[in-house]
Amino acid sequence: MEQMIDLRSDTVTRPTPAMLEAMLAAPTGDDVYAEDPTVNRLQDMLAERFGHEAGLFCPSGTMANQIAINVHVSPGDEVVCHRLSHIYNYEGGGIARNSGASVRLVQEPRGRMPAEVIRSEVNPADSHFARTALVCVEDTVNKGGGAVQPTELLKEGSEACRDMGLPFHLDGARAWNALRHTGMDWTAYGTIFDSISLCLSKGLGTPAGSVLLGSREFIAEAHRSRKVMGGGMRQVGILAAAGIHAIEPHVDRMEEDHRRASDIGSVLSQHPAIAEVDPVETNIVIARLSGGRPASDLVAAQQDAGILCSAFGPDKVRWVTHLDFNDDDLTRVLSALRDWH
């Protein structure tokens, strides 16, 4: 039996041999004391690239987002975010649980947050209402089929937030893919936001970790919040070294992931049993089966052909391309999809 092709998520990538060597060679120290030189290097490197003052290494993207929310809001405040967002759907209700805040959900297509919609969801300064304290946006949008936020919309959203004195946070778990797609300068992009969480564990081959970026003052508070959440780690330079090794070259090569995802999307959109495919802009493909046929039909057929993908709702299936998926694998996936009835 050939090895399974795993397209359930871009979190399944493994460290390359060169990455493992970089990890072995990394100098380390106690990161709770902020004394791990490799963690400090990664934090500084990303802060500089994205035009922020400081960075903080966190165990996961969920924790980086939750720390950001925790620092930006107080109990009883409200967070404006999208109905499709990870912070709302997939972080275990953490906004309420960790920070005591409520949410206001935006419902625009593809995870978008236009400025006029943001403005309309911000509560007036009146004691009847929760105090709106934060606006969060996601890029790329996982549940939006890997959609890239239009740059103009992000800039207008950012300006609206600045006018209203609200921080604008980016869940940039896959900001790499967005930047690879638009070709935008990382600093110009980064300075649109007051804080950013970036995942090292998505598509890059690195084993774990996320980095939160923001002002020096924000990161100092985030350091405290990370300790409270139990996310202070010690000699994690070995993980940071994997990130330093991967970021530039592995973001550069994401163009291949996007091309392969687009090929999968093309075959699916011509398939008679597929009703609809979300426009494929990056490394995520989401397709809806026609006639209310259950997602499990296609997931099972793919599995029989040696391919793992995910049911993403009752009649939707998701494939995510990544570093460990090559053109030979792509050929197998495309022929299995063409053979499925």
| Binding site residues, ligand PLP, CB under 6 A | 60-62, 65, 86, 138, 142, 171, 173, 199, 201-202, 210
Instruction: Report, in Å, the least distance between residue 172 CB and ligand PLP.
Output: 8
* Helix, strand, or coil (residue 96): helix
User: What tokens does 123 get?
Assistant: 């509560």
CA torsion through residues 94, 151, 255, 274, sign: positive
Nearer to ligand PLP, 86 or 322 (CB): 86
Instruction: Report, in Å, the least distance between residue 128 CB and ligand PLP.
Output: 32
- Is-contact 334 267, C-beta < 8 A? yes
Going across the sheet that includes 195-199, the strands are: 54-58, 210-214, 195-199, 168-172, 132-138, 78-82, 102-106
Paired residues of 132 in beta bridges: 78
Nearer to ligand PLP, 9 or 16 (CB): 9
Instruction: Report, in Å, the least distance between residue 292 CB and ligand PLP.
Output: 27
Q: Which residue is nearest to ligand PLP (CB)?
A: 61
Nearer to ligand PLP, 66 or 158 (CB): 66
- Rounded to an integer, what distance in angstroms lies between the CA atom of residue 244 and that of residue 239? 9
Instruction: Report, in Å, the least distance between residue 140 CB and ligand PLP.
Output: 8
Nearer to ligand PLP, 144 or 289 (CB): 144
Instruction: Report, in Å, the least distance between residue 76 CB and ligand PLP.
Output: 25
| Helix, strand, coil tally for the chain in percent (to 5) | 45, 20, 35
Nearer to ligand PLP, 254 or 289 (CB): 254
